Structure 1
Amino acid sequence: MNRVAIVTGSARGIGAAVAGRLLEEGIDVAVLDIDPPAAERAVAGFDRAGGRATAVAVDVSDADSVREAVDEVADRLGPPGILVNNAGVTRDSLVFSLSPADWDLVIDVNLRGTFLMTQAVTEHMAKLGWGRVVNLSSIAAVGNAGQANYSAAKAGIEGLTKTLAMELGPLNVTVNAVAPGYVATEMTAALAAKAGHTAEEHQARVAATIPLRRVGQPKDIAHLVAFLASDHASFVSGQIIHVAGGPVC
C-alpha cells in the first residue's frame, strides 16, 4: 500500500513545495487548504511522475472541517500516515494595538489547527502502526517584536511537538518540528510590502544578516520535511530543527 501524506496550507509557498517533494518520493499527497481553487491549481501544476495528488478543502481551526477533510482523504487515497502541519497566518502588530481578533485568528490557525489535525490523523497512524508528523514552527518562536501572536503560536507548536513525541512514540509515530528562518514566499513578500519595501529589497536586507548571505527558498524546507517523513528518520523524534542559514540563539 502506498503511503499517504496530508500537507495543510499547501496551495502555495512552503506547503506546495513540500507536497511536490513528497510526490517525487512516490507518496500520495492530499493538498489541504482553505482556498479550494488554489489547491486545485497546485495539484494541476504538480509533476505526476510520482504519487497521486488530490485537493481537499479545510479550515484547520474548525474541528468538524478537519474531521471531514481527513475522512475525505482516507476515502480518496487511503489512511494517512504522514502529516505536515504547515497551515499558518500572520497578523503582525505591536502588543499595544494587537486586537483580540487578530490574536485569536493566529492562535487558532497556527496552534489549534496543528492540534486538531494531529488528533484526527493520528487515529489512522495508530491503526497503521507507523506515522510521521512534521510541524512547521519558526525562528520567531524565540520571540520577535510585532509578532506576539505568531511567536506565541509557534512556541506552543514546539512544546506540543515534544509532548506528542513522548505520547506517540510507543505507537511508532515520530513527531518533529521544522523552524524556518526567512523564506521567500508570498507571505514574506506581503510583510515586506507592509513595511514599504519590495520583496527583493527586503530579501537583500535580510540576506545581509544571515551567515550564508541568502534567504531561504521553499525547497530548502521541503527537502528536510521529506527526510523527516521517511524511514531514514525513524530514530529522530521530538526535535526542533532550524533551517535559517546559520545558528539560531
Structure 2
Amino acid sequence: MDLGLAGQVAVITGAAGGIGKTAALSFAGEGARVVVWDQDMQTVEQVAAEIKDHGGEAMGVAGSVASSADVARVVDQIRAHFGTVHVLINNAAINDDAPVTAMTDAQWDRVVDVNLKGPFYCARAIAPLMIAQNYGRIINISSRSHLGELNRANYVSAKAGLLGLTRSLAMELGPHQVTVNTIAPGMVSTERVRSNPNYADFLERAMARQHIKREAQPDDIVNAMLMLASATSGFITGDLIYVSGGRLT
C-alpha cells in the first residue's frame, strides 16, 4: 500500500537511537524527507548519513525539546531547509525514577520538561506550518505506563498528560485537516531497555501480562507510526493506540 509519505517532511524527535532511529530509517524508506532530531549533533548526523547512504533525504538537527528557545531555533532551521513539515513525531523521552517520598524537584521537572513540555513546544512551533498547508500529522509517543506504575510518578504523570494534550490539539487542529494521535507502547526491546539492571524482572513481568508472548521490537511501534502518519488515516484523530501485545497492567 502506498502510504502517501513520499516527498513529505517528517520530523522525529529522539531519533538518534532506539525507536526514534528505527522510525527515521523507516520513514526515509517510504520516501519521506526526514529530520533527525536529538541532543547530540554527532549522533544525529550519523543517522542522517545512514539515510543518505541508502538514497534518502535527511537533515540532522540538535537541541533540547525541553527548551522553548531550542525548539524555536530548530524549527527555524527546518523551515529554512525544507520549507514546511507534514509529520511530527514527538518521540523524545527520559525517565528518572524514585519513590514519591524521595523524588526531588529536579527529577520531577526534568522528566516532565522532556516528556510533556517538549511535545507541547514542538507542536506549538510546527502547527502553524501545518495549518498554512491545511494538512498535517502529529503523533505523540506515550506509554502504557500512563495507567500507573510504582516509583515513577513523574514519568507516569507526563505520559498521562500527553493524552490530554493530544485530545486538545486534535480539537484545535482538526478544522485544518491536521490529525493528532497518541501511541502507547508497552515494553520494547531497545538497547537502553536491555541495559537496565532490572531488565530481566521487567521482561518476566511483561511476558506474564502480555497476550502476545514475545518482546516488542522497535518496528512494532514504528508500524503504528507509519499508519497514523499516512495519507489514509485522515479520519483518525484524538485517539490512543496501544502497541503492547495486549498488556494494559
Q: What range is the shorter-chain TM-score in?
A: over 0.9
* Cα distance change on mapping 1:84 and 1:169 into 2, 3 Å: same
Q: Structure 1 length normalisation: TM-score?
A: 0.93
Match status 1:141 vs 2:146: yes
Give the CA deviation at 1:26. 0.6
CA distance in 2 between counterparts of 1:208 and 1:36 reads: 40
* Cα distance change on mapping 1:235 and 1:48 into 2, 3 Å: farther
Partner of 2:13: 8
Partner of 1:123: 128
Give the CA deviation at 1:186. 2.9
Partner of 2:29: 24
Partner of 2:60: 55
Number of residue pairs matched by the alignment? 244
For the Cα contact (< 8 Å) 2:209–2:247, is it kept in 1? no
Structure 2 unaligned runs (5+)?
1-5
Give the CA deviation at 1:58. 1.4
Match status 1:41 vs 2:53: no
Deviates most, 27-36 or 203-212: 203-212
Match status 1:100 vs 2:105: yes
CA distance in 1 between counterparts of 2:215 and 2:103 reads: 28
Give the CA deviation at 1:200. 6.0
Q: Structure 2 length normalisation: TM-score?
A: 0.93
Q: What secondary structure sits across from 1:174 in the alignment?
A: strand
CA distance in 1 between counterparts of 2:201 and 2:168 reads: 40
Deviates most, 98-107 or 38-47: 38-47
Deviates most, 41-50 or 207-216: 41-50
For the Cα contact (< 8 Å) 2:210–2:247, is it kept in 1? no
Q: What secondary structure sits across from 1:46 in the alignment?
A: helix
Q: Which deviations, in whole Å up to 9, do the C-alpha atoms of 1:11-66 show, x marking residues without a partner? A: 00111111111111111010010121111122222365564111100110111110
Q: What secondary structure sits across from 1:56 in the alignment?
A: strand
For the Cα contact (< 8 Å) 1:184–1:203, is it kept in 2? no
Deviates most, 205-214 or 124-133: 205-214
Give the CA deviation at 1:168. 0.4
CA distance in 1 between counterparts of 2:31 and 2:55 reads: 4
For the Cα contact (< 8 Å) 2:210–2:246, is it kept in 1? yes
CA distance in 2 between counterparts of 1:140 and 1:205 reads: 13
For the Cα contact (< 8 Å) 1:61–1:112, is it kept in 2? yes
CA distance in 1 between counterparts of 2:224 and 2:54 reads: 21
CA distance in 2 between counterparts of 1:168 and 1:51 reads: 30
Give the CA deviation at 1:247. 4.6
CA distance in 1 between counterparts of 2:158 and 2:80 reads: 31
* Cα distance change on mapping 1:169 and 1:50 into 2, 3 Å: farther
Q: Which deviations, in whole Å up to 9, do the C-alpha atoms of 1:188-224 show, x marking residues without a partner? A: 224x31x3xxx46753553243211112111101111
Partner of 2:248: 248
CA distance in 1 between counterparts of 2:183 and 2:67 reads: 24
2:75 partner letter:
V
Partner of 1:238: 238
Which residues in structure 2 correspond to 1:63-212 (within 5 Å)?
Answer: 63-190=68-195, 192-193=196-197, 195=198, 199=199, 202-204=202-204, 206-212=206-212
Percentage identity across aligned positions?
39
Give the CA deviation at 1:74. 1.6
Partner of 1:222: 222
